[in-house]
Chains A and B, each alone.
Chain A
Amino acid sequence: QKEVEQNSGPLSVPEGAIASLNCTYSDRGSQSFFWYRQYSGKSPELIMSIYSNGDKEDGRFTAQLNKASQYVSLLIRDSQPSDSATYLCAVDSPGAGSYQLTFGKGTKLSVIP
Chain B
Amino acid sequence: GAVVSQHPSRVICKSGTSVKIECRSLDFQATTMFWYRQFPKQSLMLMATSNEGSKATYEQGVEKDKFLINHASLTLSTLTVTSAHPEDSSFYICSVDLQGADGYTFGSGTRLTVV
Residues of A in contact with B (beta carbons under 8 Å apart): 32, 34, 41-46, 49, 88, 90, 92, 95-106
Contacts and interface: CB of A to CB of B under 8 A. Distances in A.
A43 B93 CA distance: 7
A11 to B, nearest CB: 15
A46 B69 CA distance: 25
Contact of A97 (B44, B57, B101, B107): B57
A44 to B, nearest CB: 5
Contacts of A99: 97
Contact of B103 (A42, A49, A95, A105): A49
B95 interface: yes
Classify chain B: how many residues form its interface, as a range.
Answer: 20 to 34
Given A34-B103, A34-B104, A101-B34, A42 B46 contact: no
Interface in B66-115: 91, 93, 95, 97, 101-109, 111
A97 B48 CA distance: 12
The listed residue with most B CB atoms (<10 A of its CB), out of A32, A44, A96, is A44
Given A46-B103, A103-B44, 13 more contacts: A42-B108, A43-B109, A45-B106, A49-B101, A49-B103, A90-B104, A92-B103, A96-B49, A98-B51, A99-B97, A100-B49, A103-B45, A105-B43
Interface of B: 1, 6, 32, 34, 42-46, 49, 51, 57, 91, 93, 95, 97, 101-109, 111
B44 A44 contact: yes
Contacts of A96: 49, 57
Contacts of B109: 42-43
Contacts of B108: 42-43
A30 B97 CA distance: 15
Nearest to B10: A41
A102 B101 CA distance: 17
A88 B104 CA distance: 13
A32 B95 CA distance: 16
A98 B32 contact: yes
A98 B57 CA distance: 10
